[in-house]
Amino acid sequence: MKLPYRVLVIDDDENALCGMEELLRAAGHDVTTTTSYEDAKKLLSLGGYDLLVTDVRIRSFNGLHLVMKVRNESPGLGVVIMSGYDSSLMELEARRYNATFVRKPIKPEEFIDVVSRGLKSVRRERRWPRKAVAGGFRVMAAGQPAAVVDVCYDGLRLEMPPAGSLPAMFVVEVSGIGLNLDVEPVWAFTAADGSAVICGATLASDSTPAVRVWRDLVDRLIP
């Protein structure tokens, strides 16, 4: 039996929070809620969540700061951003952070649909240890110069030049060791200053010679 998704919900409106908790539990999710920005930061630092649902305004705090923290520290986490402001700017911000967006007041069916979309790209089959690579190492990714900035057995995180949408599969070439690795992008977003696209990618295969070479490389990088 598949384990339920773990969802963290932050909203300073306790009535709205209780309503969302009931909806998510009825949909089969494991739900944690808080009205506190600081408590949310602590909970996120503990890890283990599959989806973050946050209001843009949490009392005097900006929920987008939590989203930025998540994208920096746990980029594979699904994110849903909520707002009562009827502004296209909020939707643009959501897309910028590879998040889905929902307007308040929440409509139950729409909310559950948005949560489902937010969880679609979450990969939970394996939680391999990850290793940040200081300064990154240079590769070619989808035919463009790029840098690998963290690694694990199952994939890697890349910084790539801003460009159009990524293909469903592309090759990462590590020229120094003659490695050509087929990967599939799982998520991507544009850095805040617009200088790069940050992309998380997973190995397209689990048993090729290239994958064995990759995992030998990761073994040397992860103590």
Give the pLDDT confidence of 83-111 residue by residue, as tens digits. 887 667 778 888 888 888 898 889 999 99
CB-based contact 202:183 (threshold 8 Å): yes
- What is the band of 123 on the pLDDT scale with cuts at 50, 70, 90? low
pLDDT tens for each residue of 1-47: 356 788 999 999 999 999 999 999 999 998 999 999 999 998 888 77
E strand or H helix at 187: strand 179-190
Share of the chain above pLDDT 90, in %: 37
The answer for 60, left when phi > 0, alpha when psi is -120 to 50, beta otherwise, is: alpha
Confidence band for 121, pLDDT divided at 50, 70 and 90: low
Give the Å distances, CA to CA, from 30 to 15, 80, 113, 137, 212.
19, 16, 17, 38, 36
Strands (E), 104-169: 131-141, 144-152, 155-160
How far is 193 from 138, CA to CA, in rounded Å? 21
Flag whether the pTM goes above 0.75: no
Query: 193: which DSSP letter?
Result: T
Report the b/e string of 175-207 with b at 16+ CB within 10 A.
Answer: eeeebebebebbbbbeeeeeebbbbbbbbbeee
